[in-house]
Amino acid sequence: MRFDIPVDPDAETAREWAREELAKREYTTGTGRNFIDSFFEWISNLLDSLGSNIGGSWGGWGLLATVVIAALIIGVVVWLIVGPLRRSRGRSVDEEELGDPTLSAAALLSAATAAAKAGDWNLAVIEAYRALVRSLSEREVIDAKPGMTAFEAALAASSAMPAIASAIHEDADVFDAVRYGHLAATQDHYEHMLATRAAAKSARAEVPA
């Protein structure tokens, strides 16, 4: 599974994102040529012209001015490209229904326990269900892929562990209802998820023939 989604890219990652983004069809002209390439060609011609004019008047200072202008233009273009990409990658983590994929089941359960102690049953239920699914993924009972929903996780778990099918489907329904504001979670909901987790730990996964 690939859960290492970079949010603050280094220089190489940023260049790779830019290459991936600019390879998309919407960034090409009708001739199939990348319009960013055309833009940089135009900038290059402009700088050549500026360099000739400024260089002729100011000598070495003209060359320095041309380099500074070029660096500013390139910096702005890179910021315009990489900025939205960084925000997009960041949102992909935030919008994961089953939580930050870099967190372990133990970390998610710890967050659930802390929320329960604070009386925040909504957060406790959400994190408890995420911890349940993550524990099944860590045990390789299910293959929790990025973007998987609570319902999809329950279906996968039910197939692998029929003994907890009813319980985990009930937990998935509660998770969705609480997360989307249709239900106020209670301590009973939270304890039910902990019971499902305990049952899953002792249940035997069925491997398809």
pLDDT digits over 93-107, tens only?
A: 445 788 888 999 999
Assess whether 110 and 88 both reside in one domain.
Answer: no
Whole-number Å distance between alpha carbons of 157 and 192 = 16
Assess whether 135 and 71 both reside in one domain.
Answer: no
> What's residue 114's pLDDT?
97
> What's residue 146's pLDDT?
83
Q: What is the DSSP string of 49-115?
A: HHHHHHHHHHTHHHHHHHHHHHHHHHHHHHHHHHHHHHHHHHHHHHT-TT--TTS-HHHHHHHHHHH
Q: Please state, as a whole number, how many other Cβ atoms lie within 10 Å of the Cβ of residue 60.
A: 8
The CB-side HSE value for 38 (13 A sphere, CA atoms) comes to 9
> What's residue 110's pLDDT?
96
Q: Which domain holds residue 68?
A: 11-94
Q: Is 173 exposed, middle or buried (0-12, 13-18, 19+ CB in 10 A)?
A: middle
Percent of the chain with pLDDT over 90: 43
Phi, psi values for residue 28, rounded to 5°:
-110, 155
> What's residue 32's pLDDT?
52
- Whether residue 99 is contained in a domain is answered as no
DSSP-derived letter for residue 147 is T
Q: What is the pTM of this model?
A: 0.55
- Whether residue 100 is contained in a domain is answered as no
Phi, psi values for residue 34, rounded to 5°:
-65, 125
Assess whether 126 and 197 both reside in one domain.
Answer: yes
User: Considering its fold, how many domains does the chain have in total?
Assistant: 2
Q: How would residue 67 be classed by pLDDT, with cut points 50, 70 and 90?
A: low
Assess whether 134 and 88 both reside in one domain.
Answer: no
Mean pLDDT of 188-206: 89
> What's residue 144's pLDDT?
83
Residue predicted with more confidence, 4 or 79? 79
Assess whether 75 and 134 both reside in one domain.
Answer: no
Mean pLDDT of 16-42: 57
The domain boundary, picked from 73, 94, 115, lies at 94
- Whether residue 20 is contained in a domain is answered as yes
Assess whether 88 and 176 both reside in one domain.
Answer: no
- Whether residue 115 is contained in a domain is answered as yes
Asked if pLDDT for residue 162 goes beyond 60, the answer is yes
Assess whether 17 and 66 both reside in one domain.
Answer: yes
The domain boundary, picked from 94, 116, 150, lies at 94
Whole-number Å distance between alpha carbons of 36 and 21 = 11
Assess whether 35 and 114 both reside in one domain.
Answer: no
Q: How would residue 142 be classed by pLDDT, with cut points 50, 70 and 90?
A: very high
Mean pLDDT of the chain: 75
Assess whether 87 and 122 both reside in one domain.
Answer: no
Among 72-76, 119-123, 124-128, where is mean pLDDT lowest?
Answer: 72-76
The domain boundary, picked from 41, 62, 94, lies at 94
